[in-house]
Copies of this chain bind each other. A is one copy, B any other.
């Protein structure tokens, strides 16, 4: 084997994703490749759809993993649902909402944003005022903002949209599999996630789910989706129905990994998985505060799986991260955008969210500081 591959270290992945992978997911990745139209493979696709529906808490028939990473999921939701000139409102309090605004603008939408301080959640009252001012075809929000560690009020925003024609696009890249995501209850019209966060599968897939209302908008488009690769009106015919139609060659082995990763969550039980994330987050916060450090986000808006720690005076951002990586084989994340150099981002996602990892990290950080 190529020498660079032979010598890959096992790193404790405590950054913003990818997260640690369970042994059986690694094994699944290297199972023999099947043809993408093989009936045995189609059974695996069906198992994935079923478990994704459970995890998204939805009955949406159009619930499939896209053949790309989380950002491809974002692109999928916007490119299938935006038509030129649509009014789109994006609620911005971090990098990934900024990305939403960029994606939507490129697709010919009129994009408005409401900006909130990074490290604080979206405030529903300000959103309400904006919705009263203007008709929006689409509203986009990030549920778990990976750049700050903030949990945005997905349910509150859904209440503002109740009864309106505005489609609700929600990013659950970091939340899915770590905290409850209730697509049907919240009336979300299009949602996407990523395989490499709380699902603990390697990066490369992006589960998405579309409501019937979203499918209607897709089917009634004036023009074809301006993106062949991500056109759900064709992709659905590969993922559904008795006779499957070839669209593109699905990433077979990555889908094996996702199938196994979802199965592990189902076997442990979703509620147990969420509880494990919460407990390990609490242990981490306790330890961080015990070291005299502060969390960026106020307690009631914190995500369990992404913990932003304010870098203390006197500590050198990069050298601490380098020491953790080189001496302790632990990866943590740097700050992004205005938080670069100001925070470290500690992921407790999926298979990473275990007691021994929290202890190992706190120990290493204590010694490094």
| A331 contacts B by Cβ under 8 Å | yes
| A26 contacts B by Cβ under 8 Å | yes
Least Cβ–Cβ distance between A35 and chain B, in angstroms: 5
Contact A99/B228 with A33-B18, A203-B252 known, Cβ cut-off 8 Å = yes
* Residues from chain B with Cβ under 8 Å of A287 in the complex: none
Residue of B nearest to A326 (CB): B39
| A68 contacts B by Cβ under 8 Å | yes
Choose the segment among A5-13, A121-129, A308-316 that binds chain B (4+ C-beta atoms closer than 8 Å).
A5-13
| A274 contacts B by Cβ under 8 Å | no
Q: Is the CB of A15 within 8 A of B35?
A: yes
Q: A226 to B67: give the CA distance in the assembly, Å.
A: 19
Residue of B nearest to A104 (CB): B228
Least Cβ–Cβ distance between A321 and chain B, in angstroms: 10
Kindly state the interface size class of chain A when it binds its partner. 35 or more
Q: A229 to B107: give the CA distance in the assembly, Å.
A: 12
Contact A1/B18 with A203-B251, A252-B203 known, Cβ cut-off 8 Å = no
Number of identical monomers bound together in the oligomeric complex = 2
| A196 contacts B by Cβ under 8 Å | yes
Q: A29 to B256: give the CA distance in the assembly, Å.
A: 12
Bits for A53-82, please: 1 = Cβ < 8 Å to B, else 0: 000000000000001111110110001000
Does more than half of chain A's interface fall in helix, strand or loop, or is it mixed? loop
Q: Is the CB of A106 within 8 A of B228?
A: yes
* Residues from chain B with Cβ under 8 Å of A246 in the complex: 336
| A296 contacts B by Cβ under 8 Å | no
| A47 contacts B by Cβ under 8 Å | yes
Q: Is the CB of A29 within 8 A of B260?
A: no
Least Cβ–Cβ distance between A33 and chain B, in angstroms: 5
* Residues from chain B with Cβ under 8 Å of A336 in the complex: 246
| A194 contacts B by Cβ under 8 Å | yes
Q: Is the CB of B47 within 8 A of A35?
A: no
* Residues from chain B with Cβ under 8 Å of A67 in the complex: 68-69, 72, 204
Q: A122 to B115: give the CA distance in the assembly, Å.
A: 54
Least Cβ–Cβ distance between A299 and chain B, in angstroms: 28
Q: Is the CB of B30 within 8 A of A249?
A: no
With A26-B30, A102-B228 given, can you name 14 additional A-B contacts, CB distance below 8 Å? A1-B28, A2-B47, A4-B47, A17-B249, A18-B252, A21-B33, A69-B250, A71-B248, A79-B227, A106-B225, A194-B249, A202-B252, A203-B252, A253-B254
Instruction: Give 14 CB contacts A-B under 8 Å.
Output: A2-B28, A2-B263, A9-B34, A17-B249, A18-B36, A21-B32, A21-B33, A29-B30, A68-B229, A71-B229, A74-B229, A203-B249, A246-B336, A253-B254
